[in-house]
Amino acid sequence: METLRERYYNQPNFVIAGTSAGAMAMSKTMIKGGSVPDALMKGAVKMGTGLGLINNVVIDSHFVKRGRFGRLIEAVALHPKLIGIGLGEDTGVLITEGSQIETIGSNLVIIMDGHKLEHNNAAAAKKGEAISIESMLLHVLVKGNVYDISQREFYPNLKLRQQAAESVLLTAGQDANEPAPAL
């Protein structure tokens, strides 16, 4: 694992890939199990520690056909600073620059973002009680769509993402007293 991490962080063209549970294990916080029918009842989703190659997301797989929406909603409600990534069948994401997700494959990727939750009883609910939340952000991505984790922004394609980044840099460069925003 130490060798993988060293190469992952220090070699620009080194790729680590995983399917199903292998994809789910890429994050620091991971879903390690849970019943779909019981999802959104506190404790139904079992959380664990993954490989830690990407720290600010939680990933679920077989997402669409197995109806795992409730599982990912519960995981994000429990960890609202994380971005939930639901990988549909025959679909994946290519994560570059540590925060840029591009959808690949023939199905859907669902992004759930809880950073703007207005109500969330996940921490206070007792095991087995229903979880209620308000204002979970949801994005549905198809092949070629891009989501920037660090900026929490959706883009229809990589070209528009790059244009937005260039526009921010140009705007920041107009006022020498303002520091350029981090991308």
169-176 mean pLDDT:
63
Tokens of 96: 């570059």
Rg of the chain taking only CA atoms, in angstroms: 17
Q: Does residue 108 surpass a pLDDT of 80?
A: yes
CA dist., res. 27 & res. 49, Å (int): 8
Report how far apart, in Å, the C-alpha atoms of 45 and of each of 42, 48, 134, 152 are: 7, 10, 19, 24
CA dist., res. 83 & res. 54, Å (int): 11
Which is more confidently placed, 93 or 164? 93
Q: Does residue 176 surpass a pLDDT of 60?
A: no
Q: Does residue 168 surpass a pLDDT of 80?
A: no
- State pLDDT tens for residues 11-26: 888 888 888 999 999 9
The pLDDT value given to residue 113: 96
pLDDT confidence tier of residue 84, bands split at 50, 70 and 90 = very high
Neighbours of 134 (CB within 10 A): 10
The DSSP secondary structure of 71-128, one letter per residue, reads HHHHHHHHSTTSEEEEEPTTEEEEEETTTEEEEEESS-EEEEE-TT-SEE-TTTSPTT
Q: Does residue 171 surpass a pLDDT of 80?
A: no
Average pLDDT of every residue of the chain: 89
CA geometry: angle 33, 145, 24, nearest 5 deg: 15
Which residue type is seen at 133? Answer: I
Q: Does residue 180 surpass a pLDDT of 60?
A: no
The pLDDT value given to residue 178: 54
Q: Does residue 177 surpass a pLDDT of 90?
A: no
The pLDDT value given to residue 173: 64
For the four alpha carbons of 112, 117, 119 and 124, in that order, the dihedral sign comes to: positive
pTM: 0.86
30-39, 113-122, 128-137, 138-147: segment of lowest average pLDDT: 30-39
